[in-house]
Structure 1
């Protein structure tokens, strides 16, 4: 699980799709039930957030407002998502997940419309609406993180790309720290209410920490347009895969 964790950590801290590698690996290598693999996977993901958070300190400076918004909303949402998984493992929530990811992919690939040269008051109103919608999207993403999490980072990237004028490395760093918050909440509840395979968490978590630290450094040197294109295409592909797994 250690080398899988390193690769997954790099993927997670750069584009946000680590669970697509770690969750199937836990099912296969760990030979554990699906829900146990899910909670073990989520518990391991806190190490990605730690590594990427340390590596992203330069990008996070001066962006406390955006970080607090995503942290609070994902924190609250993850509590609901965690209890949803424990109470309704086959809930219909999973049926709408492919559409969340599809919308995220379209948002990432769709160019952000620049603010026109209207009054400062008008621009402020536009920003307020963007942050309100963004907060709701972060809340939904937090629920999804607590429930399953595969591709949740894509949702956060999509929203942040439209409510901030900052470059990709900055809102990717905000997304990584917000994901850490949601995963810590989920891990705490799982440790009390469910069975976490800690023997798998340790090697996977070490790998995720290392990979999570490497990811932001890679993001800094790749052009933003290439990154957003790759992430957007990955989201569209993931939405198709999840749709097929859910409905067929």
Structure 2
């Protein structure tokens, strides 16, 4: 993809987009809808842009996991970790073997799907909370079935990842994990480990553009810190609409580019 900006403009645009993405992730999620296209806009090839963006946003996921570690349900956490390692590495390897032209063709569909998933995630959360209003005896899920159900989700996270967190929550709820804090912590665990597996794969395979990655990492972290301070003051429904509209707009732009 051609670069449309000057050298200094590259960094200014990436700084702004990374900061906005960090704020979005802290407030509602969906920051990749901004940071990933920014990587493309500054001239990073599509596959490397996805890899670089994954590395840049991962530290924020780690800090979220640290905050939620006490909510983890230990009897299923290890299954989530196993599925995340397998799926994260598998998705990352397939991504690196994908032709850029093919990736650009499927990209808008993934963005659109991720946006729609994010859009209904609020209703999914309310449904999951409703399951906890009348708690039942804690059921132990079948390890094999949970693993098989999670693998496609974690594979997608390793390949692209946007919007997949609530799929982890849904899978775990269907297999008997009903407490909302446990579901949320397992969602963060799955996303964090899947992306960590992808991060190691991308680094080993030399797919990360480090001078852009470090800039994005610093300012996404700064935006996340600032967003976290004001998260409780913001209207969650409004933020969700902003994220979904942004994702759909970016998907529409790539549909347009592919049609030219």
CA distance in structure 2 between the partners assigned to 1:3 and 1:245 by the alignment:
21
Q: 1:24-103 counterparts in 2 under 5 A? A: 24-29=37-42, 31-54=43-66, 56=67, 59-65=68-74, 67-89=77-99, 90=102, 97=110, 98-99=112-113, 102=116
- Whether the 8 Å CA contact 2:28–2:240 is kept in 1: the answer is yes
Cα distance in 2, alignment partners of residues 211 and 137 from structure 1: 34
Please list every run of 5 or more consecutive structure 2 residues that lacks an aligned counterpart in the other structure: 1-13
Contact 2:114–2:162 (CA<8 Å) still a contact in 1?
no
Tell me which of the two structures has the higher relative contact order, counting C-alpha pairs closer than 8 angstroms and 6 or more residues apart.
1
1:12 Cα offset (Å): 2.5
Computed over aligned residues only, the root mean square deviation of the Cα atoms, in angstroms, reads 4.1
**Per-residue deviation, 1:198:** 0.4
The CA distance in 2 between the partners of 1:6 and 1:165, in whole Å, is 35
**Residues 48 and 211 in structure 1, CA contact (< 8 A), matched pair in contact too:** no
Distance 1:191 1:118, change over 3 A: closer
Q: Which residue of 2 aligns with 1:208?
A: 220
Equivalent residue, structure 2, for 1:143: 155
Give the 5 Å matches for 1:187-206: 187-206=199-218
Provide Cα deviations, 1:173-200, integer angstroms capped at 9, x if missing partner.
4433432222222122112224321011
After TM superposition, the structure 1 stretch with the greater mean CA deviation from structure 2, 188-197 or 84-93, is: 84-93
Aligned residues between the structures = 235
1:54-109 Cα distance to aligned partner (Å, 9 max, x none) = 4x2xx331424254343332221111101111112426976874557645654641
Q: Give the gaps of 5 or more residues in structure 1.
A: none
TM-score by length of 1: 0.70
Q: Is the 8 A contact 1:14 1:172 kept in 2?
A: no
Task: Decide whether aligned partners of structure 1 residues 151 and 62 sit closer, same or farther in structure 2, where only a CA change above 3 A counts.
Answer: closer
